[in-house]
Structure 1
Amino acid sequence: MPDDQKTETLPIIEETVSLTSQKVATGRVRIATRTESVEQILPAQLSSVDVEVARVPVGRKIDAVPEIRTEGELTIIPVVEERLVVTRELYLREEVHVRRVEKTETIEIPTTTRRQTVEIDRLPPRGEDADPAQSHNKDDQDDL
Structure 2
Amino acid sequence: MAAPSNPAATDEVVIPIIEERLRVGRREVETGRVRVDIKNDHHDVLVDEALLRGSVTVERVAIDRHVDSVPDIQDDGTTIIIPVVEEVLVVEKRLILREEIHIHRSARVDQHQETVRLTHQRAIVTRVEPDTTPSPTPEKEV
- State the TM-score, normalized to the length of structure 2: 0.56
- Of 111, 116, 119 in structure 2, the residue corresponding to residue 114 of structure 1 is 119
**Gaps in structure 2 of 5+ consecutive residues:** 1-33, 131-142
CA distance in 2, matches of 1:109, 1:41: 6
Per the alignment, in what secondary structure is the counterpart of residue 109 of structure 2? strand
Bigger radius of gyration: 2
Letter in 2 for 1:86: V
* Match runs of 1:29-108 below 5 Å: 32-108=37-113
**Looking at both structures, which has the greater relative contact order when contacts are Cα pairs under 8 Å and sequence separation is at least 6?**
2
CA RMSD of aligned residues (A): 2.8
CA distance in 1, matches of 2:59, 2:114: 35
Render the CA deviation track for 1:65-108: whole Å, top value 9, x for unaligned. Answer: 11111234221100000111121111000000112112111101
Q: CA deviation at 1:118?
A: 7.2
Letter in 1 for 2:75: T
Letter in 2 for 1:51: V
Q: CA deviation at 1:114?
A: 1.2
Per the alignment, in what secondary structure is the counterpart of residue 120 of structure 2? strand
Q: CA deviation at 1:121?
A: 8.2
The 1:34/1:69 distance shift into structure 2, 3 A limit, reads same
CA distance in 2, matches of 1:121, 1:72: 65
CA distance in 2, matches of 1:96, 1:34: 63
**Gaps in structure 1 of 5+ consecutive residues:** 1-28, 127-144
Letter in 2 for 1:60: R
